[in-house]
Chain A
């Protein structure tokens, strides 16, 4: 057992520990602070908001742990403490960048969901120049492109 704990293995363990801890921290932050956003986006439907939040966080964990696992292998052997720290910093740095990217992507999704909801209820941005009192005939043209209003 002792013989197996060479610097490379120690680096691997430190890498796993650090990256997993960071991922959990970011995911929890996202989960906690994303909730009010989603509550607003789903118009107070708390159960739905909670479930969407949970699903997003699961996706976040999967992608990040997947990346951490794939990124585990060091490109060259580590012999000294200096090399170990250098290798570790590259590995953890990459994980941090991926985490950052994913975090912003999640924020983007949150704000998109929220905007959609506000958009549906938005009043017309311009007011009519005049009003017709009598209009004849009925509207007849089919509208293939129309999607029913979700509101």
Chain B
């Protein structure tokens, strides 16, 4: 695995902020960012089913593997030099269910988070 393509919801300020943060981090893998709902995304990944694109973070690796939602957050951390160890800890079977729930709720409440971000 050499590269990750991050498909994010670019209508959400929180997500855009996360992308900015990701851009600035030292990395093990190449990161590429694309808005989820865009011509380019549909063109590049025609197989990616629209129904799944419910706005949740989607990551595609250079071998065609697709990661959705909480897996996508973890694979992003895996690509970062400072956070690879954390990605392993978060996906440990003992904590996985809690992490999954926490990250799903981040996805669900991203618009609320965006409002909070815009206020500060």
A interface residues with partner B (beta carbon < 8 Å): 115, 119-120, 122, 124-137, 139-141, 143-147, 149
CB < 8 Å A-B pair total: 91
* A146-B32 Cα distance, complex, nearest whole Å: 11
Is B116 an interface residue, CB under 8 A from the partner?
no
Is B25 an interface residue, CB under 8 A from the partner?
yes
How far does the Cβ of A151 sit from chain B's closest Cβ, in whole Å?
Answer: 9
Is B97 an interface residue, CB under 8 A from the partner?
no
Query: Given A131-B65, A139-B3, A146-B30, is A125 in contact with B60 using a C-beta cutoff of 8 Å?
Result: no
The residues of B that contact A125 with a CB separation of less than 8 Å are 74-75, 78, 87-88, 90-91
Is B43 an interface residue, CB under 8 A from the partner?
yes
The residues of B that contact A139 with a CB separation of less than 8 Å are 3, 5, 30, 32, 62
Interface centre among A128, A129, A147, by most chain B C-beta atoms within 10 angstroms, is: A128
- Once the chains bind, are A126 and B71 in contact (CB under 8 Å)? yes
How far does the Cβ of B1 sit from chain A's closest Cβ, in whole Å?
Answer: 6
Number of interface residues of B (CB under 8 A): 41
**Contact for A136 among B24, B46, B61, B71, CB less than 8 A:** B46
How far does the Cβ of B54 sit from chain A's closest Cβ, in whole Å?
Answer: 14
- Once the chains bind, are B64 and A133 in contact (CB under 8 Å)? yes
The residues of B that contact A119 with a CB separation of less than 8 Å are 84-85
Query: Given A126-B71, A128-B65, A128-B67, is A137 in contact with B44 using a C-beta cutoff of 8 Å?
Result: yes
How far does the Cβ of A50 sit from chain B's closest Cβ, in whole Å?
Answer: 27
The residues of B that contact A124 with a CB separation of less than 8 Å are 1, 75, 78
Would you list 6 pairs from A and B whose C-beta atoms are within 8 A, ordered by A residue?
Answer: A127-B65, A131-B65, A137-B43, A143-B27, A143-B30, A146-B31
* A37-B46 Cα distance, complex, nearest whole Å: 49
Binary contact track B28-53/A, C-beta < 8 Å → 1, others 0 = 11111100000010011111100000
Is B81 an interface residue, CB under 8 A from the partner?
yes
* A122-B91 Cα distance, complex, nearest whole Å: 13
- Once the chains bind, are A146 and B64 in contact (CB under 8 Å)? no
Query: Given A125-B78, A139-B3, is A120 in contact with B28 using a C-beta cutoff of 8 Å?
Result: yes
* A87-B64 Cα distance, complex, nearest whole Å: 70
- Once the chains bind, are A130 and B74 in contact (CB under 8 Å)? no
Within 8 A of A (CB), among B77-114: 78, 81, 84-85, 87-88, 90-91
